[in-house]
């Protein structure tokens, strides 16, 4: 784990490097205190330049102006170019690289060009001043171009980071929207499950009341079904409340028509909100076979009856798994759907070999892919694993804990 240390809000490494640069300028100024023109006065100008360089990242334009002013003092005093004038090049590089506007860097370059001419005029030697000016100009121009190149790369990296952060925020927003939509769908379907259980309880209670005197055993069986169904309905209601327990929960669907004594099911009449059961899995697999998947179905023997909500989750996991297989593996891919029994749980596995051709119009899904499957499995405290296989293709496996009463068989009154 990397720890970013800061000093006064600035990274420690940047502060240490700036202190090192300033210290080098100070040492160069002190080294020439005896031989250089101006003596201690010139050295004090060099120290002032070094102090200004400490703020070159936070205030590059101000630092460049301060260093240029001190260099002008040096020119007016007639000391000529000195060793600590390397601070001028550092300030020029800094303003080109760190300034908010490149205009400041261009202005600093023009001032540096004027300084090059003045420094060449005060440089002692046998070479003509214009040759010295060309030499100083080449060095200064190279520093300016290096600063411009680093600035361009720096802005490019910052734009990439900003774009990546924007994409990450968009992905998070899309994931939250998908989760909210899936939770609303789960809530509607669990609402239908609870309504169905209530209808069963009403039918069995009415049957027990009529059979109480004529057939006490049948009445006891009906009462037992009422109790078991009530426990299941209470558990489904607890899960429903858990799904809706979030900020700004989605509006639940309108209640389905209540079942009367004639034995209605209590399932919503809207086909989109119809609650599928495991008995409809063969029809679902046939639809995917018609779409081009080679689907093989295996189910372990001895599976107990599942509660309606758990049946719905198994159905949706199979539907989403096959949809992903058709979408990504393509037409002609082989897929295997397995329903197995584990200690205290039921395991749903959807595996494809990834060896198909792209599909133009994949079958519609029942939710939002892996996000929807994770939400559904999480409602029942299950585990979902999904990922590529070493042999090729993709595998989705959901492990759903079985409740203490796995299912309730309805006894007709």
The whole-chain average pLDDT of the chain stands at 77
Residue 261: is its pLDDT beyond 70? no
pLDDT tens for residues 20-30? 888 888 888 78
Q: What φ, ψ does residue 97 adopt, rounded to 5°?
A: -80, -45
Taking each helix axis from N to C terminus, what angle separates 60-77 and 102-121, rounded to the nearest 10 degrees?
Answer: 10
Q: Indicate the burial class of 96 (C-beta count within 10 angstroms; 0-12, 13-18, 19 or more).
A: buried
Q: Please indicate whether residue 124 or residue 69 has the higher confidence score (pLDDT).
A: 69
pLDDT tens for residues 280-296? 888 888 888 877 789 99
Confidence of residue 138 (pLDDT cuts 50, 70, 90): very high
Window from 3-7, 111-115, 198-202, 361-365 with minimum mean pLDDT: 361-365
pLDDT tens for residues 212-238? 777 888 777 777 777 777 776 776 677
Domain with CATH 3.30.565.10 in the chain: 276-401
d(CA 37, CA 48): 17
- The pLDDT value recorded for residue 241 is 67
Confidence of residue 411 (pLDDT cuts 50, 70, 90): very low
Q: Please indicate whether residue 22 or residue 240 has the higher confidence score (pLDDT).
A: 22
Question: Residues 250-264: what's their mean pLDDT?
Answer: 36
Q: Please indicate whether residue 46 or residue 303 has the higher confidence score (pLDDT).
A: 46
276-401, which class in CATH? Answer: alpha beta
Confidence of residue 246 (pLDDT cuts 50, 70, 90): low
- Which of 340, 350, 357 is closest to 296 using CA atoms? 350
- The pLDDT value recorded for residue 336 is 93
Cβ atoms of 161 and 196 within 8 Å: the answer is no
Q: What φ, ψ does residue 235 adopt, rounded to 5°?
A: -65, -40
pLDDT tens for residues 102-115? 898 899 989 988 88
């Amino acid at each position: 784990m990397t720890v970013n240390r800061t000093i006064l809000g600035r990274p420690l490494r940047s502060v240490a490097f700036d202190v090192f640069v300033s210290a080098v300028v100070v040492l160069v100024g002190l080294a020439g205190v005896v031989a250089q023109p101006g003596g201690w006065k010139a050295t004090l100008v060099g120290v002032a330049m070094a102090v200004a360089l400490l703020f070159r990242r936070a205030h590059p334009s101000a630092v460049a102006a301060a260093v240029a002013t001190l260099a002008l003092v040096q020119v007016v005093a007639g000391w000529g170019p000195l060793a600590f004038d390397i601070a001028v090049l550092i300030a020029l590089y800094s303003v080109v690289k760190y300034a908010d506007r490149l205009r400041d860097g261009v202005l600093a370059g023009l001032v540096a060009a004027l300084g090059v001419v003045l420094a060449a005029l005060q440089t002692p030697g046998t070479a003509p001043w214009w040759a010295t000016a060309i030499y100083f100009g080449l060095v200064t121009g190279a520093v300016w171009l290096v600063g411009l190149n680093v600035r361009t790369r720096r802005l490019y990296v910052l734009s990439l980071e900003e774009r990546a952060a924007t994409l990450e925020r968009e992905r998070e927003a899309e994931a939250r929207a998908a989760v909210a939509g899936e939770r609303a769908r789960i809530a509607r379907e669990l609402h239908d499950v609870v309504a169905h259980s209530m209808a069963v309880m009403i039918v069995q209670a009415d049957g027990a009341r009529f059979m109480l005197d004529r057939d006490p055993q049948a009445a006891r069986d009906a009462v037992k079904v009422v109790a078991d169904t009530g426990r299941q309905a209470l558990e489904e209601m607890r899960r429903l409340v858990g799904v809706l327990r979030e900020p700004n929960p989605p509006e639940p669907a309108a209640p389905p028509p209540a079942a009367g004594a004639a034995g209605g099911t209590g399932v919503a009449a809207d086909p989109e909100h119809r609650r599928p059961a495991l008995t409809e899995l063969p029809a679902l697999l046939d639809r995917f076979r018609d779409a081009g998947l080679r689907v093989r179905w295996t189910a372990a023997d001895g599976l107990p009856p599942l509660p309606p909500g758990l049946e719905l989750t198994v159905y949706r996991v199979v539907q989403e798994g096959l949809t992903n297989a058709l979408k990504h593996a393509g037409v002609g891919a082989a897929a295997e759907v397995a329903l197995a029994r584990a200690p205290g749980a039921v395991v749903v596995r959807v595996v494809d070999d990834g060896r198909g051709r792209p599909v133009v119009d994949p079958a519609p899904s029942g939710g939002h892919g892996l996000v929807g499957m994770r939400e559904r499995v999480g409602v029942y405290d299950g585990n979902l694993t999904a990922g590529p296989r070493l042999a090729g293709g993709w595998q989705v496996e959901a492990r759903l804990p079985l409740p203490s009463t796995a299912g309730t068989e309805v006894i007709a009154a």
